[in-house]
């Protein structure tokens, strides 16, 4: 399937997120996706993501004290992400017997 000029698998979706970034001597370079109410703030369009970044975090660009040490905050960046469904169970193993039960019946002993 072709979306937004790129090939995306059918079990995937493309969204825009705001990336918070900082660089300082203590932590080095750090970045993470901005959350809102415990969930990642994801948007269907770049325009909506940029509007949110300006409204919620736009003050960083005007605050020199936050951009210098010890904080080292950088202006938020809007990036496109591809979210792919993973239908496998992590750590899944072959079915095992439990207390001698196999397939719901007792093993012959």
Cβ(34)–Cβ(23) below 8 Å:
no
pLDDT of 91 reads: 61
pLDDT of 99 reads: 47
Q: What is the mean pLDDT of the chain?
A: 80
pLDDT of 63 reads: 95
Confidence of residue 87 (pLDDT cuts 50, 70, 90): low
Of residues 87, 84, 88, 71, the one with CA closest to residue 23: 71
Confidence of residue 107 (pLDDT cuts 50, 70, 90): very low
Q: From start to end of the chain, where are the E strands?
A: 2-3, 6-7, 12-24, 28-33, 35-36, 39-40, 42-43, 73-84, 101-102, 105-106
Q: What tokens does 62 get? A: 């005007």
Which pLDDT tens digit goes with each residue over 57-75? Answer: 999 999 999 999 999 999 9
Torsion of CA 41, 53, 3, 13, to 10 degrees: -10
Confidence of residue 47 (pLDDT cuts 50, 70, 90): very high
| Segment 91-107 mean pLDDT | 47
């Amino acid at each position: 399937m072709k979306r937004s000029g790129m090939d995306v698998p059918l079990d995937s979706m493309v969204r825009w997120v705001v990336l918070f970034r900082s660089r300082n001597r203590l932590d080095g370079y750090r970045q993470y996706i901005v959350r809102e109410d415990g969930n990642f703030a994801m948007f269907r369009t770049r325009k909506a993501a940029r509007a949110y970044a300006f409204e919620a975090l736009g003050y960083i660009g005007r605050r020199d004290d936050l951009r210098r040490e010890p904080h080292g905050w950088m202006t938020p960046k809007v990036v496109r992400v591809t979210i792919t469904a993973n239908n496998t169970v992590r750590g899944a193993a072959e079915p095992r017997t439990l207390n001698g039960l196999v397939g719901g019946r007792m093993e012959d002993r």
